[in-house]
Amino acid sequence: MEGHDFIIGQEFPDVKAFRNAVKETAIAQHFELRILKSDLIRYIAKCAAEGCPWRIRAVKLPNAPTFTIRSLDGTHTCGKNAHTGHHQASVDWIVNFIEERLRENVNYKPKDILRDVYEQYGITIPYKQAWRAKERGLQSIYGSSEEGYFLLPLYCEQIKKNNPKSIAEVFTSGSDNRFQRVFISFYASIKGFLNGCLPIIGLGGIQLKSKYLGTLLSATSFDGDGGLFPLAFGVVDVESDESWMWFLSELRKALEMNTEIVPQITFLSKWQNGVGDAAKRKFPTSCHAVCMKHLTESIVREFKNPRLVQLLWKATYATSNIGFKEKMVEIEEISSEARNWLQQNYPPSRWAMMYFDGARFGHLSSNTDEFNQWVLEARELPITQVIEQIQTKLMVEFEERRAKSKTWFSVLTPSAEKHVIEAVNLASTYQVLRSDEVEFEVLSAERSDIVNIGSNSCSCCGWEMCGLPCSHGVAALLFSRKDVYAFTGNKYFTTASYCAAYEEEIHCVPGKTELIKEGETTLDGEIRSVRPPKVKRPPGRPEKKRMCIEDFNREKHTVHCSRCNQTGHYKSTCKSDG
């Protein structure tokens, strides 16, 4: 392999550099190495294959750390056949090989390490060795999981110091201060939500994959242009009814600290792990809908029929009781089990437009999955690194959106403006009949709809659902010579509200090195140290339970005993005396 040949007189900065060079050469040229002498002033090694004459000797130069090759004997006669594994390809060597790749991509997988080592050096290393190297490499770059918990209180204090009025609290359990939970909400997010976002909060969680596991809980909203707006997040040791009750209690307190009246909120979630009960108890005036993305994924997973998804969406958008019942009958015709499953687990009042009491402003699915993408690659890192990843992303997003909104000159945000323009274009093709001052009948080629501009409603339900006039509503407004923009009603879709959402800045927090220095200078007892939770990730690769669809329909094999002629056991386990 090119670049891995030595010459007599070749020099190296120090003994460590020379050792690494010899190791690299042995791995790259596929021969095993036997070290005869290695200290601070000399190094002697030979090929480990019996009878192979290759040998190298290097010494330290006087008055300098430099090492130079004094002799290089023989050429390899061993065939250089160390392809499957290599004694020199240690975990430390692999760590050195993958370090830069890990810095660029935290999600660099052990299987990718195996591939890259093979492609570059032509040797095969064990999967377990690659996995250990990744673990050690992450710890070298980002610190240990234990260090993350130890630094967590300091990190939270720095968040509050650099971002006044923000909330960052660590909760522990037991006399030994074991980590239990942490809740974080930046003041910029709280103020932005109250002043410029839709009164919708998506609730979700994602499993962390560090040594001590845990779950990241999040509360996210939508800005006036439909973008993700993270409001608060936290990490809990175990996701449960109790942890969701705690999280929503902290969220309620965060909002009450910054407004006299907490707005009526619509929650969107997967409707599991006690989320619904917690939302109802902590936000009694709120409404709670099932995230439609989750519901459609669930029905596909349960019944393996995409036709059910199409009918589910039609039932969701049904504008009358009759229309809804017709779609539910069609679902039952395909699968009575699917209809029963829906009724038992997801009542229509939690997802169907006809029966849901709250306002969703066109958002039937939460955006917590989009938020989870922010930390997807950081899930294996210490807890402080996960929080830092979120904070950095928040800083960037707030700055970019603040700058972007300064280029907007329309009353409404771009997506809302587009909605109105499209509605105006469609409205020009309709015929409008006036019933009285506020009620109109709007006729199109396909249907007839009743619009009431006094209550901002239309029989198509589009106006009520989106919070912006539908095309039928726009037709009625234009017919009565009204300003369409005066009926866009909700402040949430205005450019001014969007700017208010991102008005506050989020400031950075010192990195790990600075936090460690801060910890060393902090007086004992002023900030308590936190120990990791007792729950640990099991060693080795997680098991995957693979299920084949055909297995569900396959008839089970019945065992038969040849001694007593009965079923349910073999001859070897037969208890019959005969």
Confidence of residue 541 (pLDDT cuts 50, 70, 90): low
**pLDDT at residue 475, rounded to an integer:** 95
Domain stop point among 108, 125, 142: 142
Q: Which of 89-103, 467-481, 499-513, 552-566 has the lowest mean pLDDT?
A: 552-566
**pLDDT at residue 167, rounded to an integer:** 96
Count helices and strands (H / E) in the chain.
20, 16
Contact 265, 222 (CB under 8 A): no
Distances (CA, A) of 136 to 90, 98, 142, 209, 214: 12, 11, 10, 15, 20
In this prediction the pTM is 0.79
Confidence of residue 549 (pLDDT cuts 50, 70, 90): very low
The answer on 350 and 247 residing in a single domain is yes
The CB-side HSE value for 114 (13 A sphere, CA atoms) comes to 14
The answer on 172 and 253 residing in a single domain is yes
Q: Which of 245-249, 442-446, 503-507 has the lowest mean pLDDT?
A: 442-446
Judge whether residue 500 has pLDDT over 60.
yes
> Quick check: is 67 in a domain?
yes
Q: What is the mean pLDDT of residues 268-288?
A: 89
Sequence-distant (6+) residues with CB within 8 A of 262 are 252, 255, 256, 283
CB atoms within 10 A of CB 137: 25
Confidence of residue 576 (pLDDT cuts 50, 70, 90): low
Q: pLDDT tens digits for 404-434?
A: 999 999 999 999 999 999 999 999 999 999 9
150 phi, psi to nearest 5 deg: -60, -40
CB atoms within 10 A of CB 503: 15
Sequence-distant (6+) residues with CB within 8 A of 119 are none
> Quick check: is 228 in a domain?
yes
The answer on 60 and 96 residing in a single domain is no
Largest CA distance in the chain: 106
Written as six digits, the tokens of 508 are 């950075």
Confidence of residue 164 (pLDDT cuts 50, 70, 90): very high
> Quick check: is 275 in a domain?
yes
Region of residue 215 (phi > 0: left; psi between -120 and 50: alpha; otherwise: beta) = beta
Domain stop point among 442, 474, 493: 493
Written as six digits, the tokens of 187 are 């003041």
The answer on 429 and 384 residing in a single domain is no
Region of residue 9 (phi > 0: left; psi between -120 and 50: alpha; otherwise: beta) = left
The answer on 261 and 186 residing in a single domain is yes
Confidence of residue 88 (pLDDT cuts 50, 70, 90): confident
> Quick check: is 124 in a domain?
yes
Q: Which of 51-60, 100-109, 291-300 has the lowest mean pLDDT?
A: 100-109
> Quick check: is 318 in a domain?
yes
Judge whether residue 311 has pLDDT over 90.
yes
First to last CA, the chain: 73
If you ran DSSP here, which 8-state letter would residue 349 be given? G
Sort strands 439-443 and 266-269 into parallel, antiparallel or unpaired: unpaired
Sequence-distant (6+) residues with CB within 8 A of 548 are none
If you ran DSSP here, which 8-state letter would residue 348 be given? G
Q: Which of 64-78, 238-252, 557-571 has the lowest mean pLDDT?
A: 557-571
Helix, coil or strand: residue 452: strand
**pLDDT at residue 403, rounded to an integer:** 95
Q: pLDDT tens digits for 359-412?
A: 899 899 999 999 999 988 888 889 999 999 999 999 999 999 999 999 999 999
Which one is predicted more confidently, 315 or 105?
Answer: 315
**In the chain, % of residues over pLDDT 90:** 56
Which one is predicted more confidently, 70 or 573?
Answer: 70
Domain stop point among 341, 368, 398: 398
- DSSP states of 485-496: GGG---GGGBHH
The answer on 422 and 390 residing in a single domain is no
Residue 322 class from Cβ within 10 Å (0-12 exposed, 13-18 middle, 19+ buried)? exposed
Rg (CA), the chain: 33
**Which H/E stretch holds residue 389?**
helix 383-405
Contact 2, 25 (CB under 8 A): no
Contact 269, 204 (CB under 8 A): yes
Q: How far apart are CA 17 and CA 8, in angstroms?
A: 16
The answer on 240 and 345 residing in a single domain is yes
The answer on 311 and 210 residing in a single domain is yes
Q: How far apart are CA 349 and CA 342, in angstroms?
A: 11
Query: Exposure string (b/e) for 531-556, b if CB count within 10 Å is 16 or more?
Result: ebbeeeeeeeeeeeeeeeeeeeeeee
The answer on 362 and 308 residing in a single domain is yes
Judge whether residue 346 has pLDDT over 80.
yes
Q: How far apart are CA 419 and CA 428, in angstroms?
A: 15
> Quick check: is 404 in a domain?
no
Q: How far apart are CA 200 and CA 188, in angstroms?
A: 17
Sequence-distant (6+) residues with CB within 8 A of 460 are 319, 447, 449, 470, 472
Q: Which residue's structure tokens are 């093979």?
A: 118
The answer on 307 and 440 residing in a single domain is no
The answer on 420 and 285 residing in a single domain is no
Number of domains in the chain: 4
Q: How far apart are CA 187 and CA 504, in angstroms?
A: 8
> Quick check: is 546 in a domain?
no
How far is CA 153 from its chain centroid?
23
Confidence of residue 315 (pLDDT cuts 50, 70, 90): very high
Vertex 147: Cα angle to 142 and 152 (nearest 5): 100
Sequence-distant (6+) residues with CB within 8 A of 110 are 127, 130, 131, 134
Structural domain that includes position 39:
10-73
Rounded (to 5) percent helix, strand, coil in the chain = 45, 15, 40
**Which H/E stretch holds residue 269?**
strand 266-269
Judge whether residue 547 has pLDDT over 50.
no
The answer on 387 and 448 residing in a single domain is no
**pLDDT at residue 197, rounded to an integer:** 95
The strands making up 228-236's β-sheet, listed across from edge to edge, are 167-173, 178-185, 228-236, 215-222, 200-207, 266-269, 287-290
Q: How far apart are CA 319 and CA 418, in angstroms?
A: 24
Q: pLDDT tens digits for 106-118?
A: 888 899 999 998 8
Q: How far apart are CA 322 and CA 315, in angstroms?
A: 10
Q: How far apart are CA 523 and CA 446, in angstroms?
A: 75
> Quick check: is 177 in a domain?
yes
Written as six digits, the tokens of 416 are 């809302």
Contact 31, 80 (CB under 8 A): yes
> Which amino acid is present at 483?
D
Q: How far apart are CA 186 and CA 176, in angstroms?
A: 29
- Average pLDDT, rounded, for the chain: 87
